[in-house]
């Protein structure tokens, strides 16, 4: 979920799969982000090992959006590879709409914080590998 107007369910839920994409979401990377949710890919910050990579600043997160930052149990998601700060499934380090507040602090150095969050680089190799892992393709 990018905002209250850009969302879908995680994975197939039966029946039609609805993706809500209002005006701010008609950007290639936002569409690709929501499509990965349809395919069953969760946010990077929902991973069970998130706290090894990110320090969540929950007090800076809007109360309405806090559920978007919950950690899923290890058995709730398929392990599809390493944590990827630059994944299309990463949220920005700074809270959207509140540029002076950090939603996360990185626990590892060497990453450009301004390029983290919903696809600065488009689909990363890790994003592609996750889809291949989930759907059985091991071809490059």
- Which of 28, 34, 105, 113 is flagged as catalytic? 34
User: Which two structure tokens, joined as six digits, stand for 54?
Assistant: 């990110």
Under a CB-based contact definition with an 8 Å cutoff, are residues 48 and 73 in contact? yes
Spatial CA neighbour of 10 closest among 52, 47, 60? 47
Spatial CA neighbour of 72 closest among 53, 106, 45, 40? 45
Residue 45 assigned to a binding site:
no
C-alpha to C-alpha distance for 126 and 63, rounded to whole angstroms: 30
| Residue 68 CB neighbour total at 10 angstroms | 15
Radius of gyration of the chain (CA): 15
User: Which two structure tokens, joined as six digits, stand for 110?
Assistant: 């060497």
34 is a catalytic site residue: yes
Residue 59 assigned to a binding site:
no
Residue 33 assigned to a binding site:
yes
Mark the binding-site residues, compressed into ranges.
33, 37, 43
Active-site residues, by number, are: 34
Please state the residue numbers annotated as binding site for Zn(2+): 33, 37, 43
């Amino acid at each position: 979920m990018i905002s209250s107007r850009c969302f879908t369910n995680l994975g197939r839920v039966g029946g039609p799969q609805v993706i809500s994409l209002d005006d701010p979401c008609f950007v290639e990377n936002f569409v690709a982000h929501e499509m990965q949710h349809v395919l069953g890919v969760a946010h990077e910050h929902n991973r069970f090992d998130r706290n090894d990579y990110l320090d969540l600043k929950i007090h800076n997160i809007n109360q309405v959006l806090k559920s978007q930052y919950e950690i899923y149990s290890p058995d709730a998601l398929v392990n599809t590879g390493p944590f990827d700060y630059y994944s299309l499934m990463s949220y920005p380090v700074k809270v959207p709409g509140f540029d002076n507040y950090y939603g996360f602090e990185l626990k590892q150095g060497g990453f450009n914080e301004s390029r983290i969050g919903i696809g600065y680089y488009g689909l990363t190799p890790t994003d592609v590998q996750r889809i291949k892992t989930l759907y059985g393709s091991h071809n490059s």
